[in-house]
Structure 1
Amino acid sequence: MDSLERLEAIAAITALKARYFHTMDTKDWAGLEAVFAPDLVADFRDATETHDPSQLTHGAAPYVAKLAPILQDVVTVHHGHTPEITIESSDSARGVWAMEDKLWPRETSQLPFRMLHGYGHYHERYIRIGGEWRIAEIRLSRLRVDAA
């Protein structure tokens, strides 16, 4: 892979992550599922104060099916910053993104808080399928969570 191809891959992965944030915040569940590889590994076990084994999900469809009802009645704002993307081959890459999210559950939400402001990092592995980059693995580690 030459320098131009690496830059093109990094730009495509950056756009992919932007779609991840946008589709989640707009509740476009089909669009969110489309950013993932079908055999996605979503690891959010350490995204809360206690290690939660139930937050490891295999498969894009099961992950979105689990996430959608939780966030449907929640206004969310997700931001990703300062990506560190490493191209490993023409069809694989890894990345770390600093992240910040804010969640405001509506009255109908079952979440146990009225506001959450989180900070941390997404650790990801990407693969290219049919010429398109997809998130194959996603793990969230939190540095801080403020909730009320």
Structure 2
Amino acid sequence: MSEHITRLLAIEEIKALKAKYFRCLDTKDWEGLGECFCDDLDADFTAAPGPHTSSRAEYLAMIQKALKYAETVHYGHMPEITVLDASAARGVWAMQDMVKMPAMTLTGFGHYHEEYRLEDGQWRISRILLTRLMLDMEERSA
């Protein structure tokens, strides 16, 4: 297969990976979400606001606790994916999210900055950084 076709296939597989990430996150499919990441995931959500975690297990425990009582909708747009070699890539995704929690609703816009690694024939996220351009927080009445 030509190098160009291999690169295009990797980009499409990474797009499908990110779609799975959003779907599993919003439907709280934690097992499916875990399949999106490398074991040594570096996840920095300090600008979200949120924590910085250093493994898939740590990230999954954090996100399950953080979203236990929340309804979420996440969208990723306009991916800029660069395939670095046969097993590494990086990308930037414009994003929008809404997180409805019992006391408040967060609506945000920003970018996911990610690194990807091919493991066992599957692309996975090895690093994820969320930056914000805008974050609106609205208190919800009881």
| Structure 1 length-normalised TM | 0.89
**Of residues 36, 58, 64 in structure 2, which corresponds to 1:62?**
58
Corresponding residue for 1:121?
Answer: 111
**Of residues 63, 71, 74 in structure 2, which corresponds to 1:75?**
71
Q: Secondary structure at the match of 2:65?
A: helix
Corresponding residue for 1:11?
Answer: 12
Identity in percent:
47
**Of residues 128, 136, 140 in structure 1, which corresponds to 2:126?**
136
1:46: Cα distance to partner? 2.1
Corresponding residue for 2:34?
Answer: 33
Q: Secondary structure at the match of 2:74?
A: strand
- Which ranges of structure 2 fall in alignment gaps of 5 or more residues? none
Q: Secondary structure at the match of 2:104?
A: coil
For residues 46-61 of structure 1, the aligned pairs below 5 Å read 46-48=47-49, 55-61=51-57
Q: In 2, Cα distance between the equivalents of 1:115 and 1:41? A: 26
1:72: Cα distance to partner? 1.8
Offset from partner CA, 1:32-88 (integer Å, 9 cap, x none): 11100010000112223xxx7xx1101101110111011021110000000000000
Q: How large is the RMSD of aligned CA atoms in angstroms?
A: 1.1
Q: In 2, Cα distance between the equivalents of 1:137 and 1:129? A: 14
Q: Secondary structure at the match of 1:46?
A: coil
| Structure 2 length-normalised TM | 0.93
Q: In 2, Cα distance between the equivalents of 1:116 and 1:47? A: 10
Q: Secondary structure at the match of 1:126?
A: strand
Q: Secondary structure at the match of 1:115?
A: strand
Count of residue correspondences: 137
Q: In 2, Cα distance between the equivalents of 1:44 and 1:124? A: 12
Corresponding residue for 1:20?
Answer: 21
Corresponding residue for 2:96?
Answer: 100
Structure 1 residue ranges, 4+ long, deviating more than 3 angstroms after superposition: none
